[in-house]
């Protein structure tokens, strides 16, 4: 005779199904909050702090979020990174939600575990930028798009509505969310139901129209700016952004349906899994490489990358498992390298803030607008009203040298590339000045961009 069910049985069953996800979320939160305010801000976080108060760009979500964080919690490192960190933890929770069956749930949970342990996602969850919210909304959109198992038309419509809303929020986080649309189109077109295809097409058209309306003006500006460089620079400026995102997201949408079709025989399924392992391994390596090169432009592809890795790791075929495990190890090693290197650069910003606090009357020179934004974001922490920076050009070199030699403190914020066209004699004069009066030299960059910005503080 079986015992009668108790009132707590449903709660126990619910806990049994979701206890693994709860522990995953706690692990992700512990890793992300442990060192959240330990490092100083870095250059792009200073840009965000400056831009959030001076103007709101065409993708406003991250800047509005930063403005709210400052108003509610202050402008400490911990306060500025708190909301992105919460979005990072929430991404793990959404990615690990149960699937339609135990096998699918296992894939999502393993993908969530890999993302929770990923140094890339850990780093961007601890940055006062908009990439953690971007990744969160893209994962919500991906999980909301209904599968072939959702047959109720009202439920399917609600899920498409959630996908559209999440996709729209991702687009106002960063324009790179538009690269989610090809994967959504491939996925929705693989569905059998004609109405589901129309919903998917509407989702892609609506998102594409919104992206074109909001960010279309950036294309000619980007072409003009990058066109001034080498052909390789022009190609990589688009390739490193579009390629990884489109490949990984499209593969996610396509593979998710094809490998689970019931019509496939056992041999056909085995061959497809081998092809899947090779394809996803190549995609994994490509995106990992671009993550290492750019640091952030492919971060939104990371959850889908982990889903590919989880699918391969749980495969019944040996080759997909071997390829994906090898790619995952390589991705982790490169990610740890970036995390260690970039965390060592962050104290430079704190040093700059300390030096600036000592010399509130210093004269400021800058070679272009980007260092000015960095300086104002820095100055907001200590001065609240940073003085305007003067343009630093060849004609102003004598004036700048005179100010420094007179004993007045001065800042020089410069991109080293801006000095390449200067005569060697004038570069030598600047070198002599740095040898005699330099108080601090503060390179501030992330990853391999070693010439992104250098800050010089001159004083006797």
pLDDT tens, 397-444?
Answer: 888 888 888 888 888 877 666 776 777 888 788 878 877 777 767 665
Question: Tell me, what's the pLDDT at 103?
Answer: 79
Query: For the chain, what are the domain ranges?
Result: 9-344, 347-458
How far, in Å, CA of 178 to CA of 182, rounded?
8
The pair of structure tokens assigned to 155 is 């439920």
Residue 366: in which H helix or E strand, if any? strand 363-366
Question: Tell me, what's the pLDDT at 32?
Answer: 93
Give me the percent of the chain exceeding a pLDDT of 90: 8
Q: What are the CA-CA distances from residue 186 to residues 80, 191, 211, 225, 412 (Å)?
A: 37, 9, 18, 32, 50
Of the candidates 338, 351, 356, the one whose C-alpha atom is nearest the C-alpha of residue 444 is: 351
User: Using one digit for the tens of pLDDT, what is the confidence trace for 126-177?
Assistant: 888 888 999 999 889 888 877 767 767 778 788 888 888 888 888 888 877 7
User: Using one digit for the tens of pLDDT, what is the confidence trace for 83-113?
Assistant: 999 999 999 999 999 877 787 888 889 889 9
Question: Tell me, what's the pLDDT at 2?
Answer: 52
- Taking the mean position of all CA atoms in its chain, how far away is CA 160? 25
Question: Tell me, what's the pLDDT at 82?
Answer: 93
∠294-295-296 over CA atoms, to 5°? 95
User: Using one digit for the tens of pLDDT, what is the confidence trace for 233-256?
Assistant: 444 454 444 544 555 554 555 555
User: Using one digit for the tens of pLDDT, what is the confidence trace for 163-178?
Assistant: 888 888 888 888 777 7
Of the listed ranges 10-19, 60-69, 328-337, 382-391, the least confidently predicted one is 382-391
How far, in Å, CA of 373 to CA of 251, rounded?
39
Question: Tell me, what's the pLDDT at 384?
Answer: 56
Question: Tell me, what's the pLDDT at 116?
Answer: 92
> Look-up: residue for tokens 């590919």?
308
441: β partners: 456
Of the listed ranges 10-24, 189-203, 286-300, 425-439, the least confidently predicted one is 286-300
The pair of structure tokens assigned to 10 is 């449903």
Question: Average pLDDT, whole number, for the chain?
Answer: 72
The pair of structure tokens assigned to 147 is 């599968």
- Please tell me the pTM assigned to this model: 0.75
Of the listed ranges 29-38, 58-67, 316-325, 433-442, the least confidently predicted one is 316-325
How far, in Å, CA of 40 to CA of 49, rounded?
13
How far, in Å, CA of 355 to CA of 373, rounded?
17
Residues in the chain: 460
Residue 90: in which H helix or E strand, if any? helix 77-95
Question: Tell me, what's the pLDDT at 288?
Answer: 60
Question: Tell me, what's the pLDDT at 163?
Answer: 84
Whether residue 73 has pLDDT greater than 70: yes
Q: Which residues of 172-202 are buried (b: 16+ CB within 10 A; e: fewer)?
A: bbbbbbbbbbbbbbbbbebbeeeebeebbee
- Residue 36 is given by DSSP the state T
Question: Tell me, what's the pLDDT at 240?
Answer: 46
How far, in Å, CA of 96 to CA of 176, rounded?
24
How far, in Å, CA of 146 to CA of 380, rounded?
46
Q: Would you say 57 and 63 are in contact if contact means Cβ atoms under 8 Å apart? A: yes
Of the listed ranges 2-16, 183-197, 244-258, 301-315, the least confidently predicted one is 244-258
Burial of 251 (0-12, 13-18, 19+ CB in 10 A): buried
Mean pLDDT is highest, among 63-72, 230-239, 342-351, for 63-72
Q: With the C-alpha atoms ordered 380, 383, 386, 391, is the resulting torsion angle positive or negative?
A: negative
The pair of structure tokens assigned to 319 is 């080759």
- In this prediction, residue 291 has a pLDDT band, given cuts at 50, 70 and 90, of low
Q: Angle formed by the axes of helices 302-313 and 318-345, to 10°?
A: 150
Whether residue 226 has pLDDT greater than 50: no
Rounded CA Rg of the chain:
25
Residue 179: strand, helix, or coil: helix
- β 454-458/410-414 pair status: antiparallel
**What average pLDDT does this structure show over 434-458?**
62
- β 410-414/390-391 pair status: unpaired
Question: Tell me, what's the pLDDT at 84?
Answer: 94
The pair of structure tokens assigned to 458 is 């001159």
How far, in Å, CA of 141 to CA of 180, rounded?
9
> Look-up: residue for tokens 């990174």?
81
Q: Angle formed by the axes of helices 347-358 and 318-345, to 10°?
A: 10
The pair of structure tokens assigned to 387 is 């003085």
Whether residue 183 has pLDDT greater than 70: no
Residue 457: in which H helix or E strand, if any? strand 454-458
How far, in Å, CA of 208 to CA of 180, rounded?
10
Of the candidates 216, 457, 213, 265, the one whose C-alpha atom is nearest the C-alpha of residue 348 is: 457
Of the candidates 396, 400, 426, 395, the one whose C-alpha atom is nearest the C-alpha of residue 411 is: 400
Q: Would you say 438 and 457 are in contact if contact means Cβ atoms under 8 Å apart? A: yes
Of the candidates 284, 277, 278, 281, the one whose C-alpha atom is nearest the C-alpha of residue 334 is: 284
DSSP states along 279-342: HHHHHHHHHHHHHHHHSSTTGGGHHHHHHHHHHHHT-SSHHHHHHHHHHHHHHHHHHHHHHHHH
């Amino acid at each position: 005779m079986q015992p009668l069910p108790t009132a707590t049985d449903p709660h126990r069953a619910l806990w049994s199904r979701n206890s693994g996800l709860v522990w995953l979320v706690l692990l992700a939160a512990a890793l992300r909050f442990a060192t959240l305010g330990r490092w100083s801000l870095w250059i792009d976080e200073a840009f965000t702090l400056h831009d959030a108060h001076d103007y709101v760009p065409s993708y406003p979500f991250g800047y509005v979020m930063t403005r709210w964080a400052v108003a509610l919690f202050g402008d400490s490192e911990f306060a500025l990174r708190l909301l992105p960190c919460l979005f990072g933890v929430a991404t793990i929770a959404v990615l690990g939600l149960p699937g339609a069956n135990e096998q699918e749930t296992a894939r999502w949970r393993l993908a969530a575990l890999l993302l929770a342990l990923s140094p890339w996602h850990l780093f961007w969850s601890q940055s006062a930028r908009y990439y953690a919210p971007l990744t969160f909304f893209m994962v919500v959109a991906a999980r909301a798009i209904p599968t072939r198992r959702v047959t109720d038309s009202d439920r399917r419509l609600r899920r498409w509505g959630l996908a559209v809303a999440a996709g729209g929020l991702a687009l106002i986080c960063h324009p790179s969310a538009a690269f989610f649309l090809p994967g959504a189109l491939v996925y929705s077109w693989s569905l059998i139901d004609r109405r589901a295809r129309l919903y998917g097409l509407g989702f892609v058209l609506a998102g594409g129209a919104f992206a074109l309306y909001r960010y279309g003006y950036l294309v000619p500006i980007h072409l003009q700016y990058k066109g001034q460089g080498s052909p390789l620079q022009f190609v990589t400026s688009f390739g490193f952004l579009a390629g990884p995102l489109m490949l990984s997201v499209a593969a996610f949408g396509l593979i998710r349906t094809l490998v689970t079709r019931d019509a496939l025989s056992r041999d056909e399924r085995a061959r497809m899994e081998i092809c899947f392992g090779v394809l996803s391994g190549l995609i994994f390596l490509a995106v990992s490489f671009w993550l290492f090169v750019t640091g952030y432009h492919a971060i939104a592809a990371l959850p889908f990358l982990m889903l590919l890795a989880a699918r391969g790791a749980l495969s019944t075929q040996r080759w997909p498992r071997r390829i994906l495990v090898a790619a995952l190890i390589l991705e982790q090693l490169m990610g740890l390298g970036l995390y260690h290197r970039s965390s060592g650069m962050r104290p430079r910003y704190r040093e700059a803030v300390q030096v600036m606090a000592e010399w509130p009357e210093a004269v400021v020179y800058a070679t272009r607008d980007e260092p000015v934004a960095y300086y104002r974001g820095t100055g907001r922490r200590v001065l609240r009203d940073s003085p305007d920076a003067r343009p630093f050009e060849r004609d102003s070199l004598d004036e700048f040298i005179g100010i420094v030699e007179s004993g007045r403190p001065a800042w020089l914020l410069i991109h080293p590339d801006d000095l390449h066209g200067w005569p060697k004699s004038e570069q030598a004069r600047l070198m002599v000045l740095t040898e005699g009066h330099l108080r601090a030299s503060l390179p501030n960059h992330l990853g391999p961009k070693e010439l992104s910005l250098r800050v010089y503080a001159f004083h006797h």
